[in-house]
């Protein structure tokens, strides 16, 4: 593997949506911070919930498994510094948690869905390597889903008139559709919010 393809790229979580192909699964969409490529990763419902809870700033009345893991790490003074999606084999993403304790760096292998659920809890950076984005990344062409031509709004308040909405309205709507677990719509709204950042 050429050294340049091992270049690390920082990612942000852009959206969480129902996976179209497998009904019981969800897709988490990561986007490169300095570019247009997106990395969709299919994850299970349990991990999707664990991530959604944090993204939506909800507090479950009992700690979820990932909360327990974070609390345990914190008790033992282990800090999660970074999550690296470090390999892709037969369509399966592999990740590692880069932890620090007493100045020592410890790397722990993890399923990617669990790693992301931990990353949102520690607010730590998520990154991957160039070769993974090369293989599995998709480029989103914004022109494809900018519904500028459709002047007629058939549906009141729904549809994709997000571009015309003020930011605080978008954020309110995002919370509403997340509560309804409509991750498809949430993904579109969050895309629009991110476009304005």
Neighbours of 138 (CB within 10 A): 12
Query: Are 19 and 78 within one domain?
Result: yes
> Is 147 a domain residue?
no
CA-based nearest residue to 15, from 46, 45, 38, 36: 38
pLDDT score at 190 = 78
How far is Cα 170 from Cα 8, in angstroms, rounded to an integer? 32
pLDDT score at 3 = 57
Query: Are 122 and 175 within one domain?
Result: no
- Domain hosting 85: range is 3-141
pLDDT score at 24 = 72
Number of domains in the chain: 2
How far is Cα 105 from Cα 127, in angstroms, rounded to an integer? 17
> Is 105 a domain residue?
yes
Query: Are 136 and 163 within one domain?
Result: no
What string of pLDDT tens digits covers the 197 residues of the chain? 555 668 899 999 999 887 666 667 888 999 999 899 999 999 988 899 899 989 888 887 888 899 999 999 999 999 999 999 999 999 999 999 999 999 999 999 999 999 999 999 999 999 999 999 999 999 866 544 433 333 333 333 344 577 777 777 777 777 777 766 667 677 777 777 777 76
Query: Are 101 and 197 within one domain?
Result: no
CATH of the domain at 28: 3.10.690.10
């Amino acid at each position: 593997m050429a050294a340049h393809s091992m270049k690390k790229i920082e990612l942000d979580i852009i959206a969480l949506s129902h996976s179209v192909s497998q009904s019981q699964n969800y897709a988490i969409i990561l986007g490169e911070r300095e570019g247009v490529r997106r990395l969709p990763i299919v994850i299970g419902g349990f991990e999707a919930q664990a991530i959604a809870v944090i993204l939506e700033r909800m507090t479950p009345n009992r700690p979820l498994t990932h909360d327990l893991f974070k609390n345990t790490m914190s008790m033992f003074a282990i800090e999660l510094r970074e999550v690296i999606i470090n390999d892709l084999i037969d369509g399966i993403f592999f990740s590692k948690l880069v932890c620090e304790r007493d100045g020592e760096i410890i790397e722990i292998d993890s399923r990617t869905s669990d790693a992301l659920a931990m990353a949102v809890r520690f607010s730590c950076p998520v990154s991957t390597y160039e070769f993974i984005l090369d293989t599995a990344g998709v480029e989103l062409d914004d022109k494809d889903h900018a519904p500028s031509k459709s002047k007629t709004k058939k549906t009141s308040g729904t549809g994709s008139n997000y571009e015309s909405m003020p930011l605080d309205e978008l954020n309110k709507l995002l919370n509403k559709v997340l509560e309804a677990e409509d991750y498809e719509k949430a993904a579109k709204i969050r895309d629009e919010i991110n476009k304005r950042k």
